[in-house]
Chain A
């Protein structure tokens, strides 16, 4: 069972990490890059397959050399057997289509062809949700999206998934698909381990992957466009049909109420508060 998980590095949008300038533009240099949070759900789904069905998990990304650390983060925080980074200048500034082309070629370039490819549900920066499905299209594979739980029937060569219909948690359907198959894990994805042997395996593999992540370079492969035999005209900025006509910053919402600070230790400062409240208490 060989699975590939696709991931992207994104700005860490968590409070205290992210930095914006006065005009509300993201300060990329001051904001750390992390693994796209939704991709961790995809990686957990792949890890579940690894624990329950054995095999091998490859984690793949396209991006600048610094994304090595994003791959390391995935290996350390969830799981990976090996890492692939598709990286050179020709791939830069790609839109989702050019990215999908590159990534699909990366997958086809692997020595062992995967049975499953996992992607997360949209990235925290672009939020298009296109790259996964476009990669599935390039591979010409069936695709199951919004997956919240997953079982593999290796003998029959099938996967059985529960998925949210229209991304809505109130309606869940169970689908079957032949493998190889492209799976988009929903943020609601929950791995299930109901056997003690699976949990023991999980515990051991977690220990191993954390150790492996210390020396992740040993299991990292970096491919440039020549390694993948890709024509620079079809990748990166040149291969991107998307035109960004302009960017409008979202204006800051005006504050609707004014706040007055009251010193709770000073009884006299509470008097105006009481005066304000009295009409409400009286029911006026």
Chain B
């Protein structure tokens, strides 16, 4: 086993977590190899996407990569609003205080542009250490010797040994699952997001949002416009486009048999959107991704042997009330993992990096942001059935409605409290009931007419770029009971739609009828939804194969 190729560090994935780890490893003089499965970094990556730089964080993306904001991000977010929607009535709160709390800056980003820029810097930095960055390499799992993790196995390369393996391979991490740290089991640990990027001339963006070219806005949406599915919508301004999307609890999407693309369309066609989308809606990309809910999914000990796990792969995605923070934590975690390895190596014991990394996550306060004590104490109780029922009833009663009217200022202040929002339970109350009441009781009627006609699903699929390889997902149980939810929950499948990944059919066999599900992975956007809601063997496609996002 000694003839394997060897690097001091192997980083898998070149999103913000992998890039931060690689940059910090390189700065510490560690020979670092970065392996990315896309044709280009960012071609597999999707986010909402706002990236935050927190004042309290030990690392920020622009600290590690000077010029990041000039070269790789879209617009700074200078204003942030939440819209509580009830039919055509809307009550808007300014949540600028929550947005600016602990925020050095926050920018909107498109991941293809951002990650691709990061990757060029990463290649330059790691090249100096004797390593570098390679694209189109699919890391399939962990290389073990006598049961211990010593490196990685790849589809396109022979196995590689390393003193540290940084798994920054995203929400669908094959490495975290190979190590047994993550699974595909519980829908309630995940959100699913879908997004449309709509082209818009920079001048038109400035005019419609009444902002300057160096300003940007974030708008969040909740209430009754999503058929009772728990979650919300967002709209972010980019330089020359808008990112509009929806994020829902995956268990809620599954239970309600909701069609994610239709929920996105509900947002796109709401009268409130007319002022921003105008009559010239031109969608350039439809995308989707799973989002871990760090409150439940963040690994408290994200390491094993020589493996450390960072970013989405380790469940490090914080929903701070309506504000989603993921990339900033991935950056911090990646940089801390690198720091941990440098410390461990200088003590002559490089294989203790994981242990040091875990300690740093706690000491730097990252873990408490990801798994807040306040949520464990309060929020979880709110999720118990009887209490949620009572709370919903009270909120909907005349008393609750009176309270909302009387305490308008208080509610807006509550939305802006980082402590209060971190306690929000994952129930209908905060996502649907309360915003709807706010809209009904306090909202103003929107009279604009929305003329947006979102593209059909087959056009959305048709507009994406694919280099189709061998099927990468295997349907293990094709009965409707086991895997039928995928037909609706998969963002590129729909009931009675033949051009998607999943479809269901009644099949006559030996005199009785069976309700079965079939799978065609060709239009797959690699979000991982079906791995959770259906019975599948889920892997990434080979290096360079599968979907290629141009916006992300």
By a beta-carbon cutoff of 8 Å, the part of chain A in contact with chain B is: 193-197, 199-200, 203-204
Measured between alpha carbons, how far is A199 from B136 in the docked complex, in Å?
A: 11
Across the two chains, which residue of chain A brings its CB closest to B10?
A196
Contact (Cβ within 8 A) B158 A200: no
The listed residue (B5, B35, B132) touching A203 by CB distance below 8 A is B132
Docked complex Cα distance between A197 and B131 (Å): 8
Which of A193, A194, A195, A200 interacts with B131 by CB under 8 Å?
A: A200
**A194 in contact with B132 (CB, 8 Å):** no
In Å, the complex CA distance between A203 and B36 comes to 14
B160 within 8 A of A: yes
| Cβ contacts under 8 Å, A194 to chain B | 156-158
Whole-angstrom CA separation of A200 from B129 in the bound complex: 12
Report whether over half of chain A's contact residues are helix, strand or loop; otherwise say mixed. helix
Interface of B with A (CB < 8 Å)? 5, 7, 33, 35, 127, 131-132, 134, 137, 156-158, 160
Query: What residue of chain B has the Cβ atom nearest to residue A197's Cβ?
Result: B5
Q: How far is the CA of A193 from the CA of B135 in the complex (A)?
A: 13
CB B162 to nearest CB in A, in angstroms, measures: 11
Which of A193, A196, A203, A204 contacts B160, CB < 8 Å? A196
In the complex, A62 Cα to B134 Cα: how many Å? 37
Interface CB pairs A-B, < 8 A, 12? A194-B158, A195-B157, A196-B33, A196-B35, A196-B134, A196-B160, A197-B5, A199-B137, A200-B33, A200-B132, A203-B132, A204-B132
- The minimal Cβ–Cβ distance linking B372 to chain A, given in whole angstroms, is 40
Which of A193, A194, A196 is the most central at the interface, judged by chain B CB atoms within 10 Å of its CB?
A196
Cα–Cα distance between A194 and B5 once the two chains are bound (Å): 10
Chain A residue with minimal CB distance to B158? A194
Question: Is the CB–CB distance between A199 and B131 below 8 Å?
Answer: no
- The distance in angstroms between the C-alpha atoms of A195 and B132, with both chains bound, is 13
* A195 x B158 contact (CB < 8 A): yes
Min CB–CB distance A164 → chain B (angstroms)? 24
In the complex, residue of chain B having the shortest beta-carbon distance to the beta carbon of A202: B134
Give, as a whole number of angstroms, the nearest-CB distance from A107 to chain B: 35
What chain B residues lie within 8 Å of A193 (beta carbons)? 157
Cα A197 to Cα B10 with chains together (Å):
13
Q: Complex formed: what's the CA distance from A240 to B131 in Å?
A: 53
Nearest Cβ on chain A to B419's Cβ, whole angstroms: 47
When distances are taken between beta carbons in the complex, the residues of chain A under 8 Å from B35 are 196
A200 to B127, CA, bound (A): 9
* Complex Cα–Cα for A33 and B374 (A): 72
What is the distance, in angstroms, from A87's C-beta to the closest C-beta of chain B?
39
Q: A206 → chain B, closest Cβ, in Å?
A: 12
**Which of chain A's residues have a CB closer than 8 A to the CB of B33?**
196, 200
- Given A194-B157, A200-B127; 9 other pairs, CB 8 A cutoff: A194-B156, A194-B158, A195-B157, A195-B158, A196-B7, A196-B157, A196-B160, A199-B134, A200-B134
CA distance A271 to B35 in the complex (A): 60
Query: Does A195 lie within 8 Å of B134, measured CB to CB?
Result: no
Distance between Cα atoms of A128 and B300 in the complex (Å)? 68
- Chain A residues within 8 Å of B160, by CB: 196
In the assembled complex, the Cα of A194 lies from the Cα of B3 at a distance in Å of: 13
Given A195-B5, A197-B5, is A203 in contact with B158 using a C-beta cutoff of 8 Å? no
The minimal Cβ–Cβ distance linking B197 to chain A, given in whole angstroms, is: 30
**Distance A194 CA – B154 CA, assembled complex (angstroms):** 9
- Contacts A196-B5, A197-B5 given; does A203 touch B134 at CB 8 Å: yes
Q: Which residues of B contact A204 (CB under 8 A)?
A: 127, 132
Q: Once bound together, how far apart are the Cα atoms of A243 and B160, in whole Å?
A: 59
Shortest Cβ gap from B59 to chain A (Å): 26
What's the Cα separation between A204 and B131 when bound, in Å? 12
**B residues in contact with A196, CB < 8 Å:** 5, 7, 33, 35, 134, 137, 157, 160
CB nearest to A199 among chain B residues: B134
Q: In the docked arrangement, what's the CA distance between A226 and B246, Å?
A: 75
Q: How far is the CA of A196 from the CA of B158 in the complex (A)?
A: 8
Chain A residues contacting B132 (CB-CB under 8 Å) are 200, 203-204
Residues in A whose Cβ lies below 8 Å from that of B134: 196, 199-200, 203
| Chain A, residue nearest B131 (CB) | A200
Minimum distance in angstroms from A163 CB to a CB of chain B: 24
4 tightest Cβ-Cβ pairs between the two chains A and B: A200-B132, A194-B158, A199-B134, A195-B5
Shortest distance in angstroms between A8's beta carbon and chain B's nearest beta carbon?
32
User: Shortest CB–CB separation between residue B222 and chain A, in angstroms?
Assistant: 46
Closest B residue to A194 by CB, please name it: B158
When chains A and B are docked, how far (Å) is the Cα of A200 from the Cα of B33?
9
**Which residues of B are found within 8 Å of A200, using beta-carbon distances?**
33, 127, 131-132, 134
Q: Chain B's nearest CB lies how many Å from the CB of A198?
A: 9
Shortest distance in angstroms between A247's beta carbon and chain B's nearest beta carbon? 43
Minimum CB–CB distance for B240 against chain A, Å: 29
Cα separation A196 to B131 with both chains bound (whole Å) = 9
Per the bound structure, the CA–CA distance linking A23 and B227 in Å amounts to 69
A50 to B366, CA, bound (A): 47
Give, as a whole number of angstroms, the nearest-CB distance from A48 to chain B: 15
Q: How far is the CB of A199 from chain B (nearest CB, A)?
A: 5
Residues of chain A contacted by B127 (CB below 8 angstroms): 200, 204
Q: How far is the CB of B128 from chain A (nearest CB, A)?
A: 12
